[in-house]
Amino acid sequence: MNDDWHMLAEEERLFCDVLTRICAEQIAPKAAHTDEAAAFVHDQLAVLGQAGMMGANLPEDYDGSGISAPALLRAVAIVAGACGSTASALTAHYLATDSILIGGTEAQKRAWLPRAATGEALGAFALTEPTAGSDPADMKTRARRAGDGWHLKGTKCFISNGGVADFIVVYAVTDPDKGHRGISAFILPKHTPGLDAGPAERTMGLKGGHVFTLNIDCHLPEDALLGDEGKGFRTAMQVLDNGRIEVAAQCLGLAGAAMDAAIAYAKDRVIGGEALSDKQGIRWMIADMGLAYRQALLIAQDAARQRQAAHEGAGGRFSLASAMAKLAASEAAGKVADTALQLHGGYGYTRDFPIERINRDLRIMRIYEGSSEIQRIIISGNMLA
């Protein structure tokens, strides 16, 4: 295909070129072992920290890379193409740092973001609860004023990085009478007394990007409140607008890896003296994969451009675009990976080929950061409005 990333500045292209090499040499070779061992991707995140990826979503003022939203889309896709688990842990970190960037005070930004940008401090984003997943406004975690600070109590579940993070941005109800306007956010440092993370969940895929249940019964100082009281829900929704585009990026990276693997296999596999890729039915399968990928790519790039415009003050919320990007990319990636496995035949069902792992890694993409059904509710709501 022609240059799919023509909108990137020259320095952003160079950033992505270097990242591609680093991922190929230092991250992709570890992907299969990471999956088999279910080992958290500490070493891979350290590599990304040195490459500037841990702060790729942050401006240079806070020691971030300062790249544009389209470049971030490309960069996350590169990481995901090398290792889905690494990309999942990385983007969970972005949810935490975006929360501070969007909702925090200047002192909080200075305290946490530079260290997060280098990878010195890993973040987690704690919104989901056992009874409040698709409807976070119904959360049960409470924060009440106590002495010179806050007492935070509740349970969060499926929190990526939660048990290994250096800080967790926790969302809690501070005024039950105000609905979503009574939700606030707090910065919870690692080793805070009363914070208990259970063992990592045993997941189907993304086995190196661990998720945890967090039981919280903590006293926090006054300055743990992220920004203003009652602004937490608004911050979370803005963060998720960003995060859904990053899920789309993960889907593009994994789908691209699946498609590349399928094409390489079809060229190499010979049946009856003829390459698999010479058969018309196989060519149609490859064409369908390319079409699905291309459609998802263009929708995701449009969302990234809208995100960039909003950050530059030239546009408003981009919730519709981000929901469309997440839905389109996750659904398309699932179809691409499934077709790629089908093309591999029985070999695709074995762990000897990466396509089996890619299919497992991709399955969660239609669930987390808002399921496909939730994205359809967001999209239709925006259209009807």
The active-site residue, picked from 10, 60, 369, 373, is: 369
> Which candidate, 385, 374, 360, 276, places its Cα nearest to that of 322?
374
Task: List b or e across 47-68, with b for residues whose CB sees 16 or more CB atoms inside 10 angstroms.
Answer: bbbebbbbbbbbbeebbbbbbb
Query: What is the C-alpha radius of gyration for the chain, rounded to an integer number of angstroms?
Result: 21
Nearest-angstrom CA–CA distance, 85 and 7:
28
Reply yes or no on whether 369 is catalytic.
yes
Indicate the angle between helix axes 372-384 and 319-344, nearest 10 degrees: 140
The two tokens of residue 329 are 């990319």
Q: Would you state the torsion angle of the CA atoms of residues 102, 103, 105, 111, taken in this order, to the nearest 10 degrees?
A: -70
Nearest-angstrom CA–CA distance, 373 and 115:
36
| Helix/strand/coil for 264 | helix
Nearest-angstrom CA–CA distance, 123 and 120:
10
Which active-site residues does the annotation give? Answer: 369
